[in-house]
């Protein structure tokens, strides 16, 4: 069944922020004179709330030091000179097409309200979201509260929604809310990690969201498993690229026609 509401995670799903998040945590620990955690210690925790991540990374220090770490991280992240918020190339075309097709769009994130509002402003995506929910307002993922609240505020039943996320925390949150989930392998967790949680599809980019409810869903699933013959695998990859970036395709076509015309063809 096609969903009415699509609920996106932010970091690692819409925005290419995994490495900047890891670097900011490491910088925060260094600033506080604490041993700096390895990237592989931080990566599995991305998706939890900020306080949840700090509690797990700094479980052997006092609450006062944990609060200092939280304040230090927030100061780095909310610094006006911090311009690390970059959407994946497929994100805007995906959101534009989904909105044009009549889907309702929302965000459920482990960010705080200030962080999400800044991210939305930096990426100029305000017009896409009917509602947003943050870990500073609801229990952190994998608790279902954020997505259930979004459904309630929009008058949507859980079976009419789908969650799109890059971590097992997103998928577990969806499962706890009895909402379908789509995994994307663009962020903090690997395909193997994501496979441990319930999901109806696993995509290697947001471009796949444009395919998932189309008549060629079965072909897309075969493509994702790499089972098409090489020539068809390449052709379908090109097709996905065109669907994800129609404006670039049109510009390329116009430039090619202009070049042919200039050459007298």
Active site residues: 9, 11
131-134 and 161-165 as β-strands: parallel, antiparallel, unpaired?
unpaired
CA distance 15 to 164: 13
Q: Do 157 and 128 meet the contact criterion of CB atoms below 8 Å apart? A: no
Task: Output the 3-class SS for the chain.
Answer: CCCCEEEECCECCCECCHHHHHHHHHHHHHHCCCCCCCHHHHHHHECECHHHHHHHHCCCCCHHHHHHHHHHHHHHHCCCCCCCCCECCCHHHHHHHHHHCCCEEEEEECCCHHHHHHHHHHHCCHHHCCEEEECCCCCCCCCCHHHHHHHHHHCCCHHHEEEEECCHHHHHHHHHCCCEEEEECCCCCCHHHHCCCCCCEEECCHHHHHHHCCCCHHHHHHHHCCCCCHHHHHHHHHHHHHHHCHHHHHHHHHHHHHHHHHCCC
Given its phi and psi angles, is residue 194 left (phi above 0), alpha (psi -120 to 50 degrees) or beta? Answer: alpha
Phi, psi of 245 (to 5 degrees): -130, 65
């Amino acid at each position: 069944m096609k969903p009415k509401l699509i609920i996106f995670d932010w970091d690692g799903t819409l925005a290419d922020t995994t490495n900047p998040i890891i670097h900011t945590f490491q910088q925060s620990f260094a600033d506080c004179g604490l041993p700096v955690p390895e990237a592989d210690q931080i990566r599995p925790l991305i998706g939890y709330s900020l306080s949840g991540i700090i509690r797990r990374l700094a479980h052997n220090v006092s609450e006062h030091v944990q609060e200092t770490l939280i304040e230090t991280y927030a100061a780095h992240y909310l610094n006006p000179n911090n311009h690390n918020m970059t959407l994946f190339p497929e994100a805007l075309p995906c959101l534009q097409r989904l909105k044009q097709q009549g889907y309702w769009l929302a965000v459920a994130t482990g960010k705080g309200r200030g962080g999400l509002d800044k991210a939305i402003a930096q990426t100029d995506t305000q017009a896409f979201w009917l509602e947003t929910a943050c870990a500073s307002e609801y229990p952190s993922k994998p608790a279902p509260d954020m997505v259930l609240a979004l459904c309630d505020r929009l008058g949507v039943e859980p079976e009419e929604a789908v969650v799109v996320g890059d971590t097992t925390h997103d998928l577990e949150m969806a499962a706890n809310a009895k909402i379908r989930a789509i995994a994307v392998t663009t962020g903090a967790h690997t395909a193997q990690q994501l496979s441990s949680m319930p999901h109806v599809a696993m995509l290697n980019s947001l471009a796949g969201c444009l395919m998932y409810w189309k008549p060629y869903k079965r072909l897309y699933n075969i493509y994702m498993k790499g089972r098409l013959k090489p020539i068809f695998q390449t052709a379908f990859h090109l097709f996905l690229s065109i669907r994800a970036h129609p404006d670039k395709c049109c510009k390329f076509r116009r430039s090619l026609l202009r070049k042919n015309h200039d050459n007298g063809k």
